[in-house]
């Protein structure tokens, strides 16, 4: 009787130990994935903030250029159209981070706006008075700074998303990720004509 009781207690102790170990492993991995997913979301918000900043700078920039170059209506139309398209996809549902098609749509809209801004700034080469306007120079500096920050924040986003994606694909995390619905995040892929800081050489 004593041997049976002892064996039963040992069996219970082993079962409790296994359950506790499994729980610790699952909860630790789950919490780590939650933390990493939150980092991805927070970094994506930074990317959106910089795109919004660029979006908000455009009306003042266009207005300043128009004061000196009213005849460049085609360029203004291109900028307005690109800004309108980009405006609809700056702050969007976070499902974009798991949907490659939505991410590509976002990128195309932002790339188009970046290209239109470069065309706008290239127009200023024909207007020496505009190139010496302090308001224009300040706006140009802000825009170039914003473009640089966009590039930096996109890189940070990709780095954090890569860390998250790697974590959820490793064993045994992959099983836990599958059980709790963690999905890979889409990377920001630079296109062949990806945005770079618009340059105007004086």
**What pLDDT sits at residue 198?**
44
Taking the domains of the chain in order of start, what are their residue ranges?
A: 2-180
Look-up: residue for tokens 């709790």? 180
d(CA 175, CA 178): 5
**What pLDDT sits at residue 199?**
45
**What are the backbone angles phi and psi of residue 20, rounded to the nearest 5°?**
-65, -40
Each residue's pLDDT expressed in tens, for the chain with a length of 202 residues: 577 777 777 777 787 767 766 666 677 889 999 999 999 999 999 999 999 999 999 999 999 888 888 778 888 888 988 988 887 666 567 888 999 998 988 888 999 999 999 888 888 888 888 878 888 889 989 999 999 999 999 999 999 999 999 999 999 899 999 999 999 999 988 655 544 444 433 3
Angle at 113 between CA 107 and CA 118, to 5 degrees: 125
d(CA 110, CA 154): 12
**What pLDDT sits at residue 167?**
95
In the chain, alpha helices (H): 2-66, 73-87, 100-123, 128-131, 134-169, 173-180
Fold of 2-180: de novo design (two linked rop proteins) (1.20.1440)
How many beta carbons lie within 10 A of that of residue 174, not counting itself? 14
Q: Is 178 helix (H, G, I), strand (E, B) or coil?
A: helix
């Amino acid at each position: 009787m004593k041997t049976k009781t002892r064996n039963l207690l040992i069996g219970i102790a082993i079962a409790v130990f296994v359950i506790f170990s499994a729980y610790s492993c699952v909860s630790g991995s789950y919490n780590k994935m939650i933390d990493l997913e939150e980092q991805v979301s927070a970094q994506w918000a930074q990317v959106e903030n910089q795109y919004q900043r660029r979006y908000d700078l455009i009306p003042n920039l266009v207005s300043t250029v128009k004061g000196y170059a009213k005849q460049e209506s085609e360029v203004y139309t291109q900028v307005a159209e690109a800004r309108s398209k980009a405006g609809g996809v700056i702050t969007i549902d976070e499902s974009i981070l798991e949907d490659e098609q939505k991410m590509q749509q976002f990128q195309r809209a932002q790339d188009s706006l970046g290209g239109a801004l470069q065309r706008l700034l290239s127009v200023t080469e024909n207007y020496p008075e505009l190139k010496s306007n302090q308001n224009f120079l300040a706006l140009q500096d802000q825009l170039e700074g914003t473009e640089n920050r966009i590039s930096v924040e996109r890189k940070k986003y990709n780095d954090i998303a890569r860390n998250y994606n790697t974590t959820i694909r490793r064993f045994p995390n992959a099983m836990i990720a599958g059980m709790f619905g963690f999905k890979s995040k889409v990377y920001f892929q630079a296109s062949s004509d990806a945005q770079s800081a618009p340059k105007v050489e004086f």
